[in-house]
Amino acid sequence: METEMLSLFKDLSVFDPDVIPDQLLFREKEIEELVRLFAPLQFGFNPASNAVIYGQPSVGKTSVARKILKIFQEEAASKVATCYVNLAVKRTSAEVAAEIYFQVTKHLSRRRVSKCLDATFKTLKNNEQNLLIVFDDFNAFSGGDINTLLQTLLRPAESRFQGVHVRVVLVSSGDDYFLKNRVRSSFEPVEFEFKDYNEDQKFEILKKRCIQGFSRFVILDKLIREVAERATDLRHALAILYYVGGIVNKKITKKDIDTAFNMVKGTPRKNESHLSELETFLFSKIKESTTAISTGELHRYYKKEKGDITIQGIGKSLKKLKMLGIVDYRFVSGRGRTRVWFKT
Ligand SMILES: Nc1ncnc2c1ncn2[C@@H]1O[C@H](COP(=O)(O)OP(=O)(O)OP(=O)(O)O)[C@@H](O)[C@H]1O
Ligand SMILES: [Mg+2]
């Protein structure tokens, strides 16, 4: 690699979104509380609760969750096995179970979900270990009923694996109603809402990255502040700084920042928890209705209250709501078979 080209960097990994920074500014309190919550696992006890972290994109949810796992790996590996699964990537409960099995045992498995989890619990029991799992991007899971999986996971103590305790951190992007709708009360988590950083906090985070990542003093605070304000979120801001560091080999100017913003667009990641206007409309109609409501009726409501739309358009949005697990349908017979929708 041309060293001249990347001469501005002291440490490229500082701008890598997948690297957990040493210090997660403004999240110290949450980290401390989460570690305290799960601390009993290392002494062979079952912590009182599971946890949920939710909030908008780029507010440090994944970073904090991974940091917690790292702390347990570093300080209590012999007592607590850890596991990170991104549910936006895994397509089925079987894949999730196989991934947990793999991370705990380092072996591959193609067994059924229950067999796979049993084998995982057996290993944990033999090793006298408890298990802490992070399910990231849980709101994007479309692979079936997460409740069943969670219930099987959280219940080893009731079976022959007594003494093995499993705790879960669910990470969800977006509002909390997903959780309320998708994970039934049996989960009873401690909730951590991660609020977005304010402009000053974003600036502090980015400034720290610049000090760690750039080889010398190459960017003025004023410009870092501008990046913080203009970027769609922290991830975008870091991508801008990384880009600018790659095209400049002297002091960074306002013009360089403008170029970077032209080249690197913020990609607000598609976030299933942010329903479109149509999806929100349909969901609220289904939610408010005391009886199940047909596709045709929903179509008529929309046309009356909002405007023209095809029935196919309605159908597509209903399918998405079903995929998210917040509505379901059954068939009723009338004139032919009619699909009627209800809230799960
Ligand atoms: N408190 C912080 N201190 C330092 N860097 C942070 C902090 N919070 C977030 N970041 C950085 O911002 C980027 C996005 O953070 P992260 O991936 O943890 O967000 P997220 O809340 O999981 O977002 P999403 O909902 O999109 O998955 C990462 O590069 C991360 O290192
Ligand atoms: Mg994340």
CA 240/CA 206 separation, integer angstroms: 11
- Does residue 244 lie in a domain region? yes
Q: Are residues 45 and 180 part of one domain? A: yes
**Same domain? 234 vs 167:** no
Q: Which atom of ligand 1 is nearest to the CA of 171?
A: 22
pLDDT digits (tens, 9 = 90+) for 259-304: 999 999 876 544 445 677 888 899 989 988 889 999 999 999 999 9
Q: Select the more confidently predicted residue: 315 or 5.
A: 315
Domain membership of residue 19 (yes or no) is no
Ligand nearest the Cα atom of residue 233: 1
Ligand 1 neighbourhood includes 269 CB (under 6 angstroms): yes
Our answer on whether the CB atom of 59 is closer than 6 Å to any ligand 1 atom is yes
User: Is 214:34 a contact under the CB 8 Å cutoff?
Assistant: no
Tell me what pLDDT residue 272 has: 45
Residues 67 and 184 in one domain: yes
Of 237, 263, 289, which residue constitutes the final position of a domain? 263
Binding site membership of 117 for ligand 1 (Cβ less than 6 Å): no
Span 24-56, pLDDT tens digits: 999 999 999 999 999 999 998 888 899 999 988
In a domain, 1, yes or no: no
- Cβ(239) – ligand 1 distance below 6 Å: no
61 C-alpha to center of ligand 2: Å? 6
Both 146 and 178 in one domain: the answer is: yes
At 332, is the pLDDT very low, low, confident or very high (cuts 50, 70, 90)?
confident
**CB 139 near ligand 1, within 6 Å:** no
Same-domain status, 115 and 209: no
CATH code, 99: 3.40.50.300
Round to whole Å and give the CA distance between 30 and 16: 23
User: What is the per-residue pLDDT for 247?
Assistant: 87
The reported pLDDT for the residue numbered 156 is 65
Comparing 38 with 176, which gets the higher pLDDT? 38
Q: Are residues 174 and 89 in the same domain?
A: yes
pLDDT bin (cut points 50, 70, 90) of residue 178 is low
Q: Using CA atoms, how far apart are residues 47 and 37, in angstroms rounded to an integer?
A: 6
φ/ψ of residue 244, rounded to 5? -65, -40
Q: Is the CB of 235 under 6 A from ligand 1?
A: yes
Q: Which residue from 42, 82, 45, 50 is spatially nearest to 157, judged by alpha carbons?
A: 45
Do residues 217 and 10 touch, judged by C-beta distance below 8 A?
A: no
Share the mean pLDDT of the chain: 87
At 248, which CATH number?
Answer: 1.10.8.60
pLDDT digits (tens, 9 = 90+) for 123-175: 999 999 999 999 998 877 777 777 778 888 887 655 678 889 999 999 988 76
End position of a domain, from candidates 218, 233, 263: 263
Residue 165 near ligand 1, beta carbon < 6 Å: no
How many domains does the chain fold into? 3
Distances (CA, A) of 54 to 59, 197, 198, 250, 256: 9, 14, 17, 40, 35
Q: What is the pLDDT of residue 271?
A: 46
Using pLDDT thresholds of 50, 70 and 90, give the confidence band for residue 211. Answer: very high
| Pocket flag, ligand 1, residue 234 (CB < 6 Å) | yes
Supply the residue whose CA is at minimum distance from atom 4 of ligand 1: 24
pLDDT score for 166: 93
Is the CB of 67 inside a 6 Å radius of any atom of ligand 1?
A: no
DSSP string, 256-317: HHHHHHHHS-------TTS--HHHHHHHHHHHH-SS-EEHHHHHHHHHHHT----HHHHHHH
Contacts 24+ apart (CB under 8 A), 113-118: 113/149, 113/152, 114/152, 117/152, 117/153, 117/156, 118/161
206 and 227 in contact (C-beta within 8 Å)? yes
**Could you tell me if 231 and 237 are in contact, meaning their C-beta atoms sit under 8 angstroms apart?**
yes
Looking at residue 182, its pLDDT comes to 57
Same domain, 137 and 240: no
Q: Are strands 293-294 and 336-343 parallel, antiparallel or unpaired?
A: antiparallel
* DSSP annotation of 207: H
pLDDT confidence bin for 319, thresholds 50/70/90: confident
CA distance 239 to 159: 48
Strands (E), the chain: 50-55, 80-86, 130-136, 166-173, 189-194, 293-294, 327-334, 336-343
Nearest CA to ligand 1 atom 2: 24
Give the residue from 230, 263, 296 where a domain finishes: 263
Are residue 126 and residue 155 in the same domain, yes or no?
A: yes
Percent of the chain residues past pLDDT 70, beyond the cut: 90
Q: Is the pLDDT of residue 333 over 50?
A: yes
- Whether the per-residue pLDDT at 110 is higher than 90: the answer is no
- What's the pTM value of the predicted model, to 2 decimals? 0.78
- Domain co-membership, 103 together with 169: yes
Highest mean pLDDT pick, 17-21, 46-50, 196-200, 318-322? 196-200
- pLDDT, position 8: 85
**Domain limits at 255?**
197-263
Pocket of ligand 1 contains residue 173 by CB under 6 Å:
yes
Residue nearest to atom 9 of ligand 1 (CA): 60
What are the tens digits of pLDDT across the range 302-314?
999 988 899 988 9
Interval 171-191 mean pLDDT:
68
Residue to mutate, 16, 27, 63, 169, ligand 1, most ligand atoms under 8 Å from C-beta: 63
**Residue 135 CA to ligand 1 centre (angstroms):** 16
